[in-house]
Structure 1
């Protein structure tokens, strides 16, 4: 099987309902009574699930609390806690070998953020995160309480993680604090305060998942939209399931071309394939998805494949073996090529080589984001028109006032 080719992707769909806009406008005021921002991202999409629409407000919040804009590790004054913790949720479905190199690469690029890997299935992860919040609260003993604001894209597991933190921090029987759903958009308003610890007092607010107002233009925007749709971060129905299945097959073949994660779904003895039609036929055969006349039900197989990836049906085992192909990847956001020189160095320290590759991927992501901002590639045509209309109204108002 040759190197898979990126399939044709649909144009990115826009999904930014009113409750997301309202919360985005409320954020600066909410940060004034916030001590810790707990930003949840999906470990499979550690870059794509960065909520870029909120970064400006978070930067201003840090500056108002005394952090040096030129030295992210230096703080001029520290009257109250001000920490930005990034939680990479669902760590159990990405290979362990990439966690440490990724953490080092991110700390190098974003030294002002604390990075924490978590899975709600691992009590140790929840305990460590709870201890981290308690320690921050104890570092400011004169404060009456620590207020934590939970942010993130839709369906990255914010409510589920908060429920786990509550159960860890409050002894005895505790009812489920927040409703959760496999579909995005369950939380549509800022929650009431949820107590996470009694001594010291730690409270948390759950917030609506905030999607990007516009996913971007060209291939980058299209791929970003498909990635987020694959983790159910975008409203169901905005993307064709077959397009999602085609991209998912492509990505899984890059992650492990010799034994991709989907092989156990196919009939015994099946080989990896880049052909979506062939793959869906084999999947339908194995799952006995047959229509009248003995025709394989490829539509059902398509939906099953995507739902399996989301963890809604069946089970998926994470491949922990080190990649051996020339083209390597970790999650859906990191992909690099191993040169002969890289392979020689990797024999001595594979983690260091991976860290360097990840640093380059992160730098490329940051440069792409900055380029999109300059070229307004992250702004839709409708938003550009609204901005132009607003500016024209302001000019007319200024001319009118100047003549009075």
Structure 2
């Protein structure tokens, strides 16, 4: 079965991109939030051009959804390329205090310039941005230590930009998830679909679920990060012996009266909630 095409760019994403671009000139620091399972696919290809010389803090969220040894590898990989990644679990608040300190430190240069011009220091203005459903709003709630913005493990919850004050030193701008208008790399698009990081996209659940099964079984063979029996423990059918399409069909017949759509949705939901365990979909080069 060929990989399913993933298509998107709903109207609210286009509007969000315009709003975000217009507000970027007001911010000093950008907190770019990525999904730890797919930290390359969740990097917006135009972000660096948009930011110009503004300070950027790289946030790798959902670190609980990858093995600890892979986190070490990713940290080394990013540092080799001149970036310092800050790993967080926004749902539990892990790494958030260090991230807040990094954002404030990144904004100090702005205040130093203001003082040198005879102006008073002000709160650092930081925008929290990234693809849909990478955990931006949950991260803001943790930074502020209270629920100030809507947050859920699904895409499209944030629809408008909103400023939030964090003490006297930091103002945060919560931005809706922004996707590129077009993504030519369909492998990356599939990873976004697997993780539900693409908002209101158009795709076939059964084909995407089968593609996810194919990818999990391939990674089982090629990496040490995924247990060889991860699917069998969850669904009772031995893995590494079927195509994703065949596996989905057997599981649907055994558990859902041959309802493949229901089985596909359950599989995608299990993966997205971490019920299959800490399964990464991208690895460092």
Task: Return the TM-score normalized by structure 2.
Answer: 0.84
Aligned residues: 272
Is residue 147–residue 202 contact of structure 1 (8 Å, CA) maintained in 2? yes
How far did 1:186 drift? 2.2
Match of 2:38 among 34, 42, 45: 45
Distance 2:6 2:94 in 1: 38
How far did 1:237 drift? 6.2
Is residue 20–residue 211 contact of structure 1 (8 Å, CA) maintained in 2? yes
Residue 261 (str. 1) matches residue 226 (str. 2): no
Residue 215 (str. 1) matches residue 183 (str. 2): yes
Q: Residues 180-199 of structure 1 correspond to what in structure 2 (within 5 A)?
A: 180-191=151-162, 193-198=163-168
Is residue 32–residue 128 contact of structure 2 (8 Å, CA) maintained in 1? yes
Distance 1:25 1:187 in 2: 15
**Aligned CA distance change for structure 1 residues 25 and 99 (closer, same or farther; 3 Å):** same
**Aligned CA distance change for structure 1 residues 136 and 224 (closer, same or farther; 3 Å):** closer
**Aligned CA distance change for structure 1 residues 270 and 236 (closer, same or farther; 3 Å):** same
Q: Deviations over 1:52-105 (max 9, x none)?
A: 1322111x2x0xxxxxxxxxxxxxxxxxxx520111111111121122222222
Could you say what secondary structure the match of 2:181 adopts? coil
Match of 2:271 among 284, 309, 315: 309
Could you say what secondary structure the match of 1:88 adopts? strand
Is residue 65–residue 278 contact of structure 2 (8 Å, CA) maintained in 1? yes
**Aligned CA distance change for structure 1 residues 280 and 246 (closer, same or farther; 3 Å):** closer
Is residue 134–residue 197 contact of structure 1 (8 Å, CA) maintained in 2? no
Match of 1:90 in 2: 62
Match of 1:117 in 2: 87
**Aligned CA distance change for structure 1 residues 240 and 29 (closer, same or farther; 3 Å):** closer
Task: Return the TM-score normalized by structure 1.
Answer: 0.61
Distance 2:65 2:43 in 1: 18
Greater C-alpha radius of gyration = 1
How far did 1:271 drift? 4.5
Match of 1:280 in 2: 248
**Aligned CA distance change for structure 1 residues 156 and 196 (closer, same or farther; 3 Å):** same
Unaligned stretches of 5+ residues in structure 1: 1-6, 63-81, 168-173, 291-295, 320-330, 335-357, 362-404
Distance 2:269 2:5 in 1: 22
Unaligned stretches of 5+ residues in structure 2: 116-120, 222-226
Could you say what secondary structure the match of 2:31 adopts? strand
Match of 2:78 in 1: 106
Is residue 41–residue 189 contact of structure 2 (8 Å, CA) maintained in 1? no
How far did 1:26 drift? 4.3
Q: Residues 4-403 of structure 1 correspond to what in structure 2 (within 5 A)?
A: 8-13=2-7, 15-58=8-51, 60=52, 62=53, 82-109=54-81, 111=82, 113-136=83-106, 140=111, 143-167=121-145, 174=146, 176-191=147-162, 193-198=163-168, 201-216=169-184, 221-236=185-200, 238-257=202-221, 259-267=228-236, 270-284=238-252, 288-290=255-257, 296-311=258-273, 315-318=275-278, 331-334=280-283, 358=284, 361=285
Is residue 37–residue 83 contact of structure 1 (8 Å, CA) maintained in 2? yes
Could you say what secondary structure the match of 1:181 adopts? coil
How far did 1:42 drift? 0.8
Q: Deviations over 1:204-233 (max 9, x none)?
A: 0011111110111xxxx3222222111112
Could you say what secondary structure the match of 2:26 adopts? coil
Distance 1:304 1:236 in 2: 18
**Aligned CA distance change for structure 1 residues 189 and 123 (closer, same or farther; 3 Å):** closer
Is residue 12–residue 215 contact of structure 1 (8 Å, CA) maintained in 2? no
**Aligned CA distance change for structure 1 residues 202 and 106 (closer, same or farther; 3 Å):** same
How far did 1:160 drift? 1.1
